[in-house]
Amino acid sequence: MATILGFSFPFRKGATKLPEQATDDDVIKQSLIQLLGTVRGERQMRPDYGVDIISKIFEANTPGLADLIRYDVTTAVAKYEPRAVIQQINVVRDEDAGLISLEIQYVSMVTRTLQQLVLTFPVPLGG
């Protein structure tokens, strides 16, 4: 099996190399973080890259909102990160703390292992 090499995210100096390298599952996880943290339309040459999670934080907290976020995440990952196959997405909105969390379980197609990624997005004041 070939090893995937890439730069660590966020970009930083490694113990012996500049920049620090990431491999296999770390590269995929970092790619997912970048994809899900990018607002759709933010990249000029790729206007459909990203997910509109931030724009949905002002929506009513309904089961339909969680389904919409799951759909957007699944669609974006299928298109831009085919090395990860989504198994489950939990959308947790904590009104008191002002946070939306995504708990994503996916299979890494490189190592064929189940991985987990948890991302938390702050809800702006008044959201």
Count of Cβ atoms closer than 10 Å to residue 14 Cβ: 12
Write down the pLDDT at residue 112. Answer: 93
Asked if residue 2 has pLDDT above 60, the reply is no
- Residue 38 vs residues 33, 52, 68, 89, 110: alpha-carbon distances, Å: 9, 8, 17, 18, 24
Write down the pLDDT at residue 116. Answer: 97
Beta partners for residue 34, in sequence order:
none
Percent of the chain residues past pLDDT 70, beyond the cut: 80
Domain boundaries, the chain: 5-122
More confident residue, 99 or 8: 99
CATH node for 5-122: 3.10.450.40
Asked if residue 82 has pLDDT above 90, the reply is yes
Mean pLDDT value across residues 19-45:
86
Residues 98, 40: Cα–Cα separation, whole Å = 22
> 112: burial class by Cβ within 10 Å (0-12, 13-18, 19+)?
exposed
Write down the pLDDT at residue 63. Answer: 78
Q: Look at 8-12, 28-32, 55-59, 72-76 and tell me which has the smallest mean pLDDT.
A: 8-12
More confident residue, 81 or 123: 81
Paired tokens of 51: 């997910």
Write down the pLDDT at residue 14. Answer: 66
Closest CA to 35 of 82, 2, 1, 68: 82
Mean pLDDT value across residues 28-35:
92
Q: What pTM, to 2 d.p., does this model score?
A: 0.80
Closest CA to 5 of 25, 28, 29, 21: 21
Write down the pLDDT at residue 12. Answer: 66
